[in-house]
């Protein structure tokens, strides 16, 4: 087979495989859940029409996220993050298959709004303190801590949706 024929034959198939692999990687949570119970699936379906314009819905200690919303486009990149300010959550893509959720409350003085992810750590732009994301020496909101790890939340994925449990 000539090179040109080979490329014309292979490239469209390869492109489809890459798109599907990327789409699948975008919806996997921190610890992938292979089998959701019927009640968990019903919960995702129940809230499907309740998302706000920013692509999330909060109900008690649960935050549901629709990853297809443009608000979450930064999560398509490794080390991309989104601060869901009003829900109290920082979402971070650590690699192509992993999304992690953390409290966006600064352990130093409880500020939620100004975060930057630099060198594998979230830095609060208000006072410059930085906090790890590997659950080492986890510190709580407003504990006056100037170092340590941010509180981490459980993430469950279903299709293009996430459920974050802030417990």
pLDDT higher than threshold 60 for residue 32: no
pLDDT higher than threshold 70 for residue 21: no
The pLDDT > 70 percentage for the chain reads 80
pLDDT the model gives residue 2: 54
Domain ranges of the chain: 3-105+151-165
Q: What is the mean pLDDT of residues 15-30?
A: 42
pLDDT in tens, 72-109: 999 999 999 999 999 999 999 999 889 999 999 999 98
Strands 98-103, 121-124: pairing kind: unpaired
Q: What is the mean pLDDT of residues 139-162?
A: 94
| C-beta neighbour count of 38 within 10 angstroms | 7
Cα–Cα distance for residue pair 61/100, rounded to 1 Å: 16
Residue with the two structure tokens 């920082």 = 90
């Amino acid at each position: 087979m000539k090179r040109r024929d080979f490329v014309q034959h292979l490239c469209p198939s390869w492109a489809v495989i890459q798109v599907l692999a990327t789409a699948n990687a975008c919806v996997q949570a921190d610890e992938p859940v292979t089998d959701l119970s019927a009640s968990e699936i019903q919960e995702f379906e129940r809230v499907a029409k309740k998302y706000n314009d920013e692509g999330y819905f909060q109900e008690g200690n649960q935050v549901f996220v629709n990853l297809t919303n443009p608000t979450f486009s930064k999560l398509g990149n490794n080390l991309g993050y989104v601060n869901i300010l009003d829900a109290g959550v920082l979402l971070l893509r650590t690699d192509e298959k992993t999304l992690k959720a953390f409290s966006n409350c600064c352990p130093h003085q409880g500020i939620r709004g100004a975060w930057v992810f630099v060198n594998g750590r979230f830095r609060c732009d208000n006072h410059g303190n930085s906090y790890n994301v590997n659950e080492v020496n986890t510190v709580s909101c407003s504990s006056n801590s100037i170092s340590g790890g941010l509180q981490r939340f459980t993430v469950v994925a279903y299709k293009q949706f996430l459920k974050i449990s802030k417990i």
